[in-house]
Structure 1
Amino acid sequence: MPYETPQAAAVAWLAYPQLATTLDQPTLDWLFDEGSLTRRLTRLSHDHFSVTPLFEGWQTLRDDECAALDLAPGAQGWVREVYLRGHGQPWVFARSVAGRSVLERGGLDLETLGSRSLGELLFCDQAFIRHPLQVCRYPQGWLPLAAAQPNLWGRRSRFARNGLELLVAEVFLPALWQAAKEETR
């Protein structure tokens, strides 16, 4: 594993109404866009989008992840961490997790994704239901060292299909905000 993902003090995951009056509209549009982030990044990068896997494997899930997936604290799960890149630059750090028990029952083989986007897989399968997005200032200690900065916006949502649940978190890195700003000029 390239870095530690320590437990942090309780993180306040917020819904749209809690942030609607405090954030500018472009930021809200990115954080609460319910469409495929992969597709949006592909458009923004003019098809120069790629996925770089950082870590994939079994790991003890964080307390906030266990709570979101209704798992016992300290449960084991499959963890996939990647950079979503535009023009070769890391634009988003993504961490996807699922409980070991639900994955062992079958239905989704996360181990074979490689450099393919999990988001694209989730959005192509109509059976997945996306639960509401939640947003926070993502703890710096949960980020890879190369991307670790304070006060980065992150979001997460739970995807469910026939008892299988995945939690997908995406942290928006400074290079994405810069590319988005240049696109609107």
Structure 2
Amino acid sequence: MSDLLHSWLSADRLPCPLDPALHDWLYLDKGSLTRRLTDLAAGAFSVTPLHEAWEPLRNDECAELGVAPGCEGWVREVYLCGDGQPWVFARSVAARPALERAGMDLQSLGNRSLGELLFSDPAFARGPLQACHYPAAWLPRECRQSGLWARRSRFSQDQLGVLVAEVFLPALWRAASIEP
């Protein structure tokens, strides 16, 4: 695969067409991934928090949020699970200054889905979906492997941007009967 696939790309910039089922999960479905996973798991959906902290954001996240490199932000990493198995690794970030101005408390989400919060608040507008092969080094050790597809989008409310990246793990593709 091309090195280009390690960069976040819109659907029209992919170097080769994707399998239609994979394209649907990455780009076409603009609704809540939480709802889609809940449906696929026949209701057996859960969120497992892994890491939440104030820390410097990665350069690609700062660029997408329009903040200075190294800006501190709230970082939340979770597994979205179906039938008790991690199906998706999700990383959500927001720059500290904008988050504090907005008065949004992401620290109290616990095992609730951020996606449900964002989709239930009409003040948030979702930006375009981008996809890439997520760098293995950015994944938790227990699911670290190369070539996993991920998508991300920015949710905006006034000056607040919340960047949500979702990495699709092999167990999801098995559950959905898709060959990535």
TM-score greater than 0.5 by the shorter chain: yes
Q: Which amino acid aligns with 1:19?
A: L
1:26 aligns with one of 14, 21, 37: 21
Q: Which amino acid aligns with 1:22?
A: P
Q: Which amino acid aligns with 2:108?
A: T
**2:116 is the counterpart of 1:120:** yes
- d(CA) in 2 for partners of 1:88, 1:46: 12
Q: Please tell me whether the aligned partners of residues 158 and 166 of structure 1 are also in contact (alpha carbons under 8 angstroms).
A: yes
Partner residue in 2 for 1:134: 130
| Structure 1 gap segments, 5+ residues each | 1-9
SS in 2 for 1:35: coil
Stretches of 4+ moved more than 4 A in 1? none
Q: Which amino acid aligns with 2:38?
A: T
Q: Which amino acid aligns with 1:18?
A: R
Query: Kindly, what percent of the aligned residue pairs are identical?
Result: 62
Deviation at 1:107, TM superposition (A): 3.2
**Cα shift readout 1:91-125 (whole Å, capped 9, x = no counterpart):** 00000000010111133110000000000000000
| Structure 2 gap segments, 5+ residues each | none
TM-score (norm 2): 0.93
1:46 aligns with one of 42, 48, 63: 42
**2:145 is the counterpart of 1:149:** yes
- d(CA) in 1 for partners of 2:34, 2:104: 19
Partner residue in 1 for 2:78: 82
**Cα shift readout 1:28-83 (whole Å, capped 9, x = no counterpart):** 00011110000000000000000000001101100000000011011100000000
Partner residue in 2 for 1:64: 60
- d(CA) in 2 for partners of 1:98, 1:50: 23
**2:175 is the counterpart of 1:179:** yes
- d(CA) in 2 for partners of 1:119, 1:108: 14
Q: Which amino acid aligns with 1:170?
A: E
Q: Which amino acid aligns with 1:13?
A: W
Deviation at 1:145, TM superposition (A): 0.3
- d(CA) in 1 for partners of 2:75, 2:6: 19
CA RMSD of aligned residues (A): 1.4
**2:95 is the counterpart of 1:99:** yes
Larger mean CA deviation between 155-164 and 15-24 belongs to 15-24
Partner residue in 1 for 2:159: 163
TM-score (norm 1): 0.90
- d(CA) in 2 for partners of 1:88, 1:101: 36
- d(CA) in 1 for partners of 2:16, 2:24: 13
- d(CA) in 2 for partners of 1:67, 1:97: 12
**Cα shift readout 1:9-34 (whole Å, capped 9, x = no counterpart):** x9411111123952100000001111
